[in-house]
Amino acid sequence: MHVFKSLFFAALVLFSGCYSGMDYVVHGGEGEVETETIIKYIVTEPEADIWIDSFTQIEAYEAIDIVWVIDGSCSMMSHQTRLLAGIEHMMNNLPPDVNWRLKMITAGDGSRVIQPTTFPLTRGDDIADAMDMYNQLPNDGQEKGFDAIKNYATLDVYAKTWMRSDAALLVVFVTDEREQSSMTTTDFINWYAWLRPSVYLSFVGNVDTEDSICPYKTNYGTIGRKYMDAVSHFSGTIIDICETDWSAGVDDATQNIEPIGEWELTHVPYVDTLVVFEDNAPMDSSKWTYSAVDNMIEFSVTPPENSLIEIGYAIKYYNMPPPE
């Protein structure tokens, strides 16, 4: 997302395709950078700021393997109800046209833990089936999520019978402790990135104290910093383990693996300035509509995978304070 601050246009010519080499300050990246930017096809209000929301459409897939890597230590018992509710919510909200398989394993590194050999949950299974799988997990007090998924995906004999190399992969780490594997975060990221053509990560656990609603105070020794760094690298979802309802976070995790069909705007636009680009070319206006109720662009034609979608508009109201 980028905002172009302090623009003062008496007028811009519609469809002109260029402006007179003006410099704009781009906000929203890692730093503030002076750049010459061409904003096409936008007629602005005087002194209005321009914002561009953007995303890259994810790759389409027909199958996905999902592995929940669950901390099996005693302290996790207090989170069991929310854990099973989160898994049930995911099962009920995965795309109906996707061939998904969902497996639970514990966070042991595999040297002392044998994971169950039950077939993964899939379409048609329900919460009773999920509870049966959960109850079959071995007693495992280890908290080595990185090692656990690596060893399971590469060494476990049964995993090789059901995990599909051509399917997308989503791993969800669930723990109230820090990551304690021998692998560094960088090593894990490098390994996981090359495991499948499409990989996704999510984390449910202890977040930074200022972001946590846990009744206990999280400290550096229990915060899942390595998990959060890895998940952030893959633009995944992070959920505070003490949230009473994980469904919103689970929805975010599943949305991250579905093609994007709508996009909520960061700010409220002047509607007549809205323009959508696909790979730097204006998108036909018949392919999208704006919903003022939801402040959202809705695509009647789903953008193709790997396409860069940019939504430009003049800001009418800020949904958050403007950058300084």
**Are 280 and 209 part of one and the same domain?**
no
**Are 155 and 299 part of one and the same domain?**
no
Residues 6+ apart with CB under 8 A from 123: 96, 99, 100
Report the relative pairing of strands 99-106 and 33-36 from DSSP bridges: unpaired
* CA 25 – CA 5 distance, rounded (Å): 6
Residue listed under structure tokens 């730097």:
280
In 3-state terms the chain splits into helix, strand, coil percentages (rounded to 5) of: 25, 25, 50
**Are 52 and 86 part of one and the same domain?**
no
Any domain includes 322:
no
CATH no. for residue 153? 3.40.50.410
Q: Are 236 and 253 in contact (CB under 8 A)?
A: yes
**Are 103 and 145 part of one and the same domain?**
yes
pTM: 0.68
Beta-strand ranges (E) seen in the chain are 2-4, 23-27, 33-36, 50-56, 63-70, 99-106, 121-122, 168-175, 199-205, 237-240, 262-264, 268-269, 275-278, 281-282, 288-291, 296-299, 308-317
Range of the domain at 153: 63-255
Question: Cα 85 vs. chain centroid, distance in angstroms?
Answer: 20
Helix count and strand count (H, E) for the chain: 7, 17
Any domain includes 323:
no
**Are 50 and 195 part of one and the same domain?**
no
Residue-wise pLDDT for 28-64, tens only, equals 333 333 323 334 455 555 566 788 888 888 776 778 9
Query: DSSP characters for 113-134?
Result: -----PPPEETT--HHHHHHHH
**Are 216 and 98 part of one and the same domain?**
yes
**Are 297 and 272 part of one and the same domain?**
yes
Q: What are the backbone dihedrals phi and psi of residue 85, each rounded to the nearest 5 degrees, phi first?
A: -65, -40
**Are 154 and 46 part of one and the same domain?**
no
pLDDT by position in tens, the chain (length 324): 554 433 323 223 233 333 333 333 333 333 333 323 334 455 555 566 788 888 888 776 778 999 999 998 888 888 999 999 999 999 998 877 788 999 999 998 766 778 989 999 999 999 999 999 999 999 888 899 999 999 999 999 999 999 999 888 999 999 999 999 989 999 999 999 999 888 989 999 999 888 888 876 555 568 899 999 999 999 889 999 998 888 878 877 776 667 788 899 999 998 988 989 898 888 999 999 999 999 999 999 989 888 889 888 888 888 755 444
Nearest to 28 by CA among 5, 57, 56: 5
How many structural domains does the chain have? 2
**Are 161 and 200 part of one and the same domain?**
yes
* CA 139 – CA 114 distance, rounded (Å): 10
* CA 115 – CA 169 distance, rounded (Å): 19
| The domain boundary residue, chosen from 227, 255, 283 | 255
**Are 174 and 283 part of one and the same domain?**
no
Any domain includes 324:
no
**Are 103 and 191 part of one and the same domain?**
yes
DSSP label of 281: E
What tokens were used for 268?
């409220």
Q: Are 257 and 64 in contact (CB under 8 A)?
A: yes
HEC profile for 157-188?
CCHHHHCCCCCEEEEEEEECCCCCCCCCHHHH
* CA 128 – CA 41 distance, rounded (Å): 55
Coil/strand/helix, residue 26? strand
Q: Roughly what angle, to the nearest 10 degrees, separates helices 127-135 and 80-93?
A: 130
| The domain boundary residue, chosen from 255, 276, 296 | 255
| The domain boundary residue, chosen from 213, 237, 255 | 255
